[in-house]
Amino acid sequence: MLEYLYNHFLQKVNSIINYKINYYFCNVFQHIQQCFKMLISAYKNNYIEAGCDEAGRGCLAGPVFAAAVILPANANIPHLNDSKKLTEKKRYELRAIIEKEATCWAIGRVSNKEIDRINILNASFLAMHKAINKLIIRPNLLLIDGNRFKPYKNIEHYCIVKGDSKFASIAAASILAKTHRDDFMKKINKQHPVYGWNKNKGYATQYHIDAIREHAYSDYHRKSFHLKSDQLSIKF
């Protein structure tokens, strides 16, 4: 009887140890996978490709930002991914690396007043155009996150749905656009702290919506974006 209990005890202990070991190495393997996950570096070989993405398209306040990034062919940036899949801390860590290692990069922005005048879709395209225009090296291929784009001059472009989780240059652009816009929203939050832009970055959180109802719109709000029955409707 004692021998049976002893053997049963050993089996339980071994089972627990094996589970812990498997769990540990599974987590380690997933971490290694994430570290070395390689996004596609190029759409076409022997082209100067600029990845482009925007940030702030769905916000109630503030400008829309866009970034254009040209990465070197041998760029290898661990953890590079769609900015929405990263923590704020990781985005800023990667931003420093991207800005240091990129062949060149640039930021474009379009104000809330211009958004109201030309609509948010055209404003997003314009912000991308401004970013591309600021690049010190002219690309001959543009990789655009999403399914639509207004052609920029005579440069060939490809629209790629969820491109920020597929192509390194677009992922880099998504991180730069997001972090530079976040910086802007934190800055103007000092002028209008009642809206909580340092936290919601201008998006339609309940706190932001309640603040608009209590304090009305600020000079940074998009007047063509309307709150109706607790939902956001956008006029084009």
In this prediction the pTM is 0.81
Residue 28 contacts by C-beta under 8 Å, 6 or more apart in sequence?
A: none
pLDDT, residue 38, reads: 76
From CA 63, how far away is CA 30, in angstroms rounded? 37
From CA 3, how far away is CA 147, in angstroms rounded? 69
Low pLDDT (below 70) residues in the chain? 1-37, 228-236
Helices 88-101 + 168-189 axis angle, to 10: 120
Tens-digit pLDDT profile for residues 38-85 = 799 999 999 999 999 999 999 999 999 999 999 998 888 999 999 999
Residue 187 contacts by C-beta under 8 Å, 6 or more apart in sequence?
A: none
From CA 31, how far away is CA 210, in angstroms rounded? 40
* Bridge partners (DSSP) listed for residue 231: 228
Residue 54 contacts by C-beta under 8 Å, 6 or more apart in sequence?
A: 64, 65, 66, 124, 127, 128, 145, 177
From CA 75, how far away is CA 102, in angstroms rounded? 8
pLDDT, residue 23, reads: 42
Please count the CA atoms within 13 angstroms of the CA of 111 that sit on its side-chain side: 6
Do 79 and 94 form a contact (C-beta atoms < 8 A)? Answer: yes
pLDDT, residue 2, reads: 53
pLDDT, residue 37, reads: 57
Phi and psi torsions of 226, nearest 5°: -115, 145
- Residue type for 213, please? R
